[in-house]
Structure 1
Amino acid sequence: MKATYDGTWLWLGQDGLALYESGGYGRPGKGKLRLAPEEGLYLLVRKRIELPGYDFEKLLQELSKDPVFFRRYLVYRDLRERGYALQTGPHDFRVFRRGERPGKGQSYYLVRVLAERDLVDFACVAAEVETAGNMRKTYLIAAVDDEGELTYYEVKVDHLAGAEGEDPVGEGTARGEAFGPTGLVATGTAPWLLEEGYGKPFDQERTMLSPAEILYLMDEKRLTLTENGAPLTREAYQAVAAGADSEIVEKAVLYTDLRRRGYAPKTGYKFGHHFRVYGGGVKHSLLLAHALPAGTTLTMAAISRSVRLAHSVKKKMLFGSVHNNDIQYIEFARIKM
């Protein structure tokens, strides 16, 4: 069947409606079928349609005036060849379950297509995830690398339920001495620190606390600090800690939120992230969590490294976007389509 191209869409006549009925291609109306550019190029390659004056290379050249067309086409082709029917919009694609198609079922995924170096704005992603949720769809990012390989990520705004079996509120108090950003507490005076998952043994007599732990415990009125024998306020200590760690404010907000949900965060340095997170009496950490200031953007390549590492050690990867003293958790999980 022959198509026409108006510079934006490809069009088929009445005979093209069979493509919609059999495979969910295009959008019918007034006896015609309107094809999105990705659909038209795909059908042209498969010799399902003809476009006078165009072969694959010429049409691709024309459509590639849109600099992001080629990556979208790679995703469209991949999903079609995996047995999915899909249409463009409202993000990049709406994808139906296998065996369903437009007019014969509801779309299940909303897919955003990004290149490996594209910046991901976490606030924008969270808004798109919320939109997908309101539409009862699952939000995916399809990442396209420089060699045209595709990786699919399910993205969730994770509300992070409290950890089962954990009591987020303790009763013990302690006194410690600050040595720069590090705090030491006599273990014998506060054995509850190690019992509740705070700090680590410095030697047989002392427990060492990290800056995030210190700030949380000071906020909870469970720790007082001195420096050279003089009392040290929370504000003064944070200034010292910030001199050694420019991310301490966001890390402290994330640590506090996790603790108040019943989790026990510990440093995630060896995993390249702020915290590895324990909870529910589990001996191994369940999550990797990284605090991000509001307005942060990361490349898809950076997110991919984080997700791959987290999955390799059987953990979830959560980014905690900090807005004042609130946290919005965004989870990226690699999936197979």
Structure 2
Amino acid sequence: MTYKLDKEGIIITEEKLAAQIYNKGRTGTPLEKGQLLLRKEEALYCDYRNDIDLSEDTINKFKKDNLTHIVYRDLKERGLMVKVDEHGLRLYDRKKSSKGQSSAVILAKNFKYEIDFNDIFTELERGLERRIQIAIIDIEEDVVYYITKIVEWPETKLKKDGNIIINDPEVKELIDKGYQINSGLKFGTHYRIYNYESKHAPWLIHIVKDGITWLDITRMVRVGHGVNKTIVLAYKKRWISLEWIKP
């Protein structure tokens, strides 16, 4: 047998095979004696690519409650450098070494799942330079990617023709800071937001609560992208933006 099971995945014990797999896209983590650690996502991808032959039981075990293997496969098939560690998926720029800091952290989500905002804010508030990308997976295992950021609203001043008629405590912060707020109904959101300089609203604001799903969000972002506006979610007086991205 060319591999043995490990708590993190499998270990390729055949030195020649280990070298072949690692040299093909830097897949896995080299170990002593020429062996190679493949975490579950990496092992599933190597089986998909016919580099190794996992048993059906092992495949089912590795796939159980594991969405990241779908995203890992998708990114590798796009020719990108992606690594798996104890924290999840890390995406690297093509021109940089995978031994340095990653350019993005990938959070894998099922489109039917309710959004766990605490999970997102925890990663965002670490304040790292790398991007935070959300990977949304559908029933056909296709993946859509979004960049998410914490939004901070600097002071501005009301447009000369501005006329605030909205009295919503959820957006009071923006009104107090001088932003013009109008209905976003025609875009399927709560509000559209202008600053002093903007002729057209750069942002669409949607007030969200616990229970909203990723499918709901994909609809909003699709509309926002189509009209060149950034979707901003307001959740318990915190703000995050979501923009579609091609990895």
1:309 Cα deviation (Å)?
A: 1.3
RMSD after superposition: 2.4
Distance verdict in 2 for CA 1:91–1:289, change over 3 Å: farther
State the match for 2:82 in structure 1: 86
Q: Indicate whether 1:2 and 2:2 are aligned.
A: yes
The size of the alignment, in residue pairs, is: 244
Task: Kindly report which structure 2 residues correspond to 1:212-291, keeping only aligned pairs within 5 A, or say none.
Answer: 212=167, 251-254=168-171, 256-291=172-207
Unaligned regions of 5+ residues in structure 1, if any? 169-194, 200-208, 213-250
Aligned with 2:212: secondary structure?
A: strand
- Identical aligned residues as a percent: 28
The answer on whether the counterparts of 2:71 and 2:135 sit within 8 Å (CA) in structure 1 is yes
Task: Kindly report which structure 2 residues correspond to 1:125-274, keeping only aligned pairs within 5 A, or say none.
Answer: 125-131=120-126, 133-134=127-128, 136-163=129-156, 166-167=157-158, 196-198=161-163, 209-210=165-166, 212=167, 251-254=168-171, 256-274=172-190
State the match for 1:321 in structure 2: 235
Aligned with 1:119: secondary structure?
A: coil
Tell me, in whole angstroms, the C-alpha distance in 2 between the residues paired with 1:273 and 1:100.
Answer: 39
State the match for 2:48 in structure 1: 45
Of residues 117, 125, 137, the one that matches 1:122 is 117
Tell me, in whole angstroms, the C-alpha distance in 2 between the residues paired with 1:8 and 1:257.
Answer: 46
Tell me, in whole angstroms, the C-alpha distance in 2 between the residues paired with 1:3 and 1:100.
Answer: 30
1:116 Cα deviation (Å)?
A: 0.5
List per-residue Cα deviations over 1:253-308 (Å, max 9, x = no partner): 41x21123321001222223221111224232111112345xx3421001111111
Distance verdict in 2 for CA 1:306–1:118, change over 3 Å: same
The answer on whether the counterparts of 1:37 and 1:63 sit within 8 Å (CA) in structure 2 is yes
TM-score, normalising length from structure 2? 0.87
Distance verdict in 2 for CA 1:40–1:101, change over 3 Å: farther
Aligned with 1:306: secondary structure?
A: helix
The answer on whether the counterparts of 2:158 and 2:196 sit within 8 Å (CA) in structure 1 is no
Tell me, in whole angstroms, the C-alpha distance in 1 between the residues paired with 2:148 and 2:107.
Answer: 11
Unaligned regions of 5+ residues in structure 2, if any? none
State the match for 1:310 in structure 2: 224
Tell me, in whole angstroms, the C-alpha distance in 1 between the residues paired with 2:158 and 2:6.
Answer: 65
Tell me, in whole angstroms, the C-alpha distance in 1 between the residues paired with 2:246 and 2:41.
Answer: 22
